Amino acid sequence: MEEAPPAPLTPGDPRHQKTPNLRTDPRQLEGRFYDLVVVGGGIQGAAIAREAACRGIATLLVEKTDFAVGTSSRSSRLVHGGLRYLQQGNVALVKEALHERERLLRLSPHLVRPLPVVLPFYPDSGGSRFVSWIGVRAYSWLAGRSTMPGPRRLSASEAAAAFPGLRTKGLLGGVQYFDAATNDARLTLANVVAAHRAGAVISNHCELLGVRADGALRLRDGLTGAEIAVRAKEIVNAAGPRADSVRRLFGTQGKNLVRTSRGTHLILDPRQGETSLAAFLPDKRIQFVVPHADGTLCGTTDVYEDATAEEPTVNKDDLRYLLDALAYLLDPAPTVADVRFAYSGWRSLPAQKGPSGAIHREAFLVREATSAGGLHTVVGGKLTTHRAFAERAVAQVFGIDGVDSRTRKEPLPGGEGAREPMDPLWWRHGSDAPRVRGIAQRDSNLLRPICPHRPFLAVEAAHALRHLAACTFSDLMLRRLVHSQGPCMRPECLAVAHGIYLRERVGDFDSDFVAATAALRAEVEHLAGGVLPTMHPIAAR
């Protein structure tokens, strides 16, 4: 007889210790009233929920699927001012972004790290050496009292030495400056956790269905199918690429506010050193090669594409464009066989005419009156400026003037306490690492790696399932145990991970191993696209 799966944890289970699960069961929300309901669990929605909760505003954050499931886990993973935006003359945005970069470096060092960047020059580069040097000098000046070193000019030999593998044929020299790197999905989740700790109610896998005749918001629990209703004074629509679809649920008839462009990235093997590459190509687009401990991120494309029900996937044109860009920059040039993973994401841009790269990225709110309350739609936005925009947005929605936000000085979860860079768990959990390890006090087996192909410990999976609202097996493997090359897809490793999932989950979901792993595999394959013939054997390593 087949052994029954372990009973899932219940909210009152003592194994939860003192920290409650992040997620509130939507069925517990029935009939409640909130000053603010935020729709969308990406970086903008999470930051707005955090800001509002920190100001004592009764806040509910709902997300149709899972936090950072779309755009906010598919970025270039940079915390930067944006040299391109400076080139476009958008000085105010660059200055704000650089100051927010410094704030994140100081307050959340486990999530955001300094990144030396080499900007190389070739005879046919899309950028001028003189203008680029003036640009990085202005970039450094706009950063103010930054902890980052200033820029410096590099000879051709110095540029090649700073970034081994850089194409030296025709290399004229370069510039080195500093920016910062992050893990976008973890940064988003940290904002969700911060919102929860400040008092916000959080519910992922909770879909907005529409508005009842009496003005109540109709919600559906995506895990149980239960439908409930809540009321709100104000609603922030932070659905990013699908913001206009959410507007239609409220009966709005105006023109679309948002248009979307597709950005694709490739992941290569990890490389030695911390130095990144940013380069203007002959087509005047800028390309990045960013080293992370678990893979080298390369990108991006910028192609207009209408958002659909599913997230975008990598197509052959994007793959070829990025490989051609890497061939221009690197020697030897990577091939398809060197690609370990890939992903595409939509940028949410204002619905304006013109090339997507020329449209300014500042976020703003558009208010519309509805039967459910004031609807405020977020248009645009950058990962780097999420906190600053959230502060302005909440002030605008609730008419708050001249009051500094505590988020200006308060670290994101894990940013408190001493830095422990020699501890791998510190880089993933910051000062919460001892709390994560503490889960293993009763079971030392939880301190073992889940599998030999990824760095995660079983205790990290337990922590995610007990306290970080990982509901489905895919939530756990893709968006809590975040790895640049995706989850390990070896059957034996998935079996171990699923066994932990069955022991630690809250709720009776994804009990069947075959069905759960099939759903995960389908999501991974869609994320990376069918254009990678090496994906299946690579993913199985």
Alpha carbon distance 64, 220 (integer Å): 9
pLDDT reading at 188 higher than 70: yes
Instruction: Encode pLDDT of 239-280 as tens digits.
Output: 999 999 999 999 998 899 999 999 999 999 999 999 999 999
Cβ partners under 8 Å of residue 91, min gap 6: 142
Same domain, 176 and 203: no
**Does residue 446 sit within a domain?**
yes
Domain boundary (325, 350, 375) is at 350
Domain that holds residue 169: 78-182+258-350
Same domain, 232 and 284: no
pLDDT reading at 452 higher than 60: yes
Same domain, 295 and 365: no
Residue keyed to tokens 């954050």:
61
Q: What is the pLDDT of residue 4?
A: 43
Same domain, 173 and 285: yes
Q: What is the pLDDT of residue 3?
A: 39
Residue keyed to tokens 């600053």:
388
- Residue 347: phi and psi, rounded to 5, are -90, 135
Same domain, 226 and 153: no
**Does residue 117 sit within a domain?**
yes
Structure tokens belonging to residue 356: 């997507």
**Does residue 355 sit within a domain?**
no
Contact assessment for residue 110 and residue 427, using Cβ atoms and an 8 Å cutoff = yes
Q: CB atoms < 10 A from the CB of 152, how many?
A: 12
- Please give the model's pTM, rounded to 2 decimal places: 0.94
Contact assessment for residue 451 and residue 445, using Cβ atoms and an 8 Å cutoff = no
Of residues 83 and 327, the one with the higher pLDDT is 327
CA atoms within 13 A on the CB side of 495: 3
Alpha carbon distance 55, 402 (integer Å): 13
User: Cα 75 from chain centroid?
Assistant: 7
Same domain, 366 and 247: yes
Per the DSSP assignment, residues forming a β-bridge with 377 are 237, 366
Same domain, 178 and 191: no
**Does residue 264 sit within a domain?**
yes
pLDDT reading at 537 higher than 70: no
Q: CB atoms < 10 A from the CB of 147, how many?
A: 10
pLDDT reading at 6 higher than 90: no
Task: For strands 112-121 and 276-280, give the pairing.
Answer: parallel
Domain boundary (374, 408, 442) is at 408
Same domain, 212 and 172: no
* pLDDT-based confidence at residue 532 (cuts at 50, 70, 90): low
Average pLDDT over residues 205-210: 98
Q: What is the pLDDT of residue 538?
A: 39
Instruction: Encode pLDDT of 366-398 as tens digits.
Output: 999 999 999 999 999 999 999 999 999 999 999
Contact assessment for residue 520 and residue 487, using Cβ atoms and an 8 Å cutoff = yes
Q: Which domain CATH number covers 275?
A: 3.30.9.10
Of residues 17 and 298, the one with the higher pLDDT is 298
Nearest in space to 326 (alpha carbons), one of 313, 342, 310: 342
pLDDT reading at 421 higher than 60: yes
Alpha carbon distance 333, 133 (integer Å): 27
* pLDDT-based confidence at residue 18 (cuts at 50, 70, 90): very low
Instruction: Encode pLDDT of 64-75 as tens digits.
Output: 999 999 999 999
List Cα–Cα distances, 367 to 214, 255, 259, 482, in angstroms.
20, 13, 18, 35
Q: b/e per residue, 260-291, with b = 16+ CB within 10 A? A: bbbbbbbbbeebeeebbbbbbbeeebbbbbbb
Same domain, 242 and 293: no
Same domain, 252 and 262: no
- How many domains does the chain contain in total? 3
**Does residue 25 sit within a domain?**
no
Structure tokens belonging to residue 484: 């640049």
pLDDT reading at 539 higher than 50: no
Same domain, 291 and 387: no
Alpha helices in 302-371 (DSSP H): 316-329
Would you give the end-to-end CA distance of the chain in angstroms? 32
**Does residue 3 sit within a domain?**
no
**Does residue 15 sit within a domain?**
no
Report DSSP state, residue 204.
Answer: S
Of all residues in the chain, what percent carry a pLDDT higher than 70? 92
Per the DSSP assignment, residues forming a β-bridge with 248 are none
Task: For strands 258-268 and 295-299, give the pairing.
Answer: antiparallel
Phi-psi region at 521: left, alpha or beta (left = phi > 0; alpha = psi -120 to 50): alpha
Q: Which domain CATH number covers 224?
A: 3.50.50.60
Same domain, 170 and 262: yes
Alpha carbon distance 106, 100 (integer Å): 10
Q: Report helix, strand and coil shares of the chain as percent, to nearest 5.
A: 35, 20, 40
Instruction: Encode pLDDT of 474-517 as tens digits.
Output: 999 999 999 999 999 999 999 999 999 999 998 899 999 999 99
Instruction: Encode pLDDT of 139-183 as tens digits.
Output: 999 998 888 999 999 999 999 999 999 999 999 999 999 999 999
Alpha carbon distance 41, 261 (integer Å): 20
Contact assessment for residue 119 and residue 126, using Cβ atoms and an 8 Å cutoff = no
* pLDDT-based confidence at residue 360 (cuts at 50, 70, 90): low
* pLDDT-based confidence at residue 10 (cuts at 50, 70, 90): very low
Q: b/e per residue, 361-390, with b = 16+ CB within 10 A? A: bbbbbbebebebbebbbbbbbbbbbbbbbb
**Does residue 283 sit within a domain?**
yes
* pLDDT-based confidence at residue 2 (cuts at 50, 70, 90): very low
Q: E strands within 135-270? A: 152-154, 173-182, 201-203, 206-211, 217-221, 227-237, 258-268
* Least confident piece of the model among 54-58, 224-228, 353-357, 451-455: 353-357
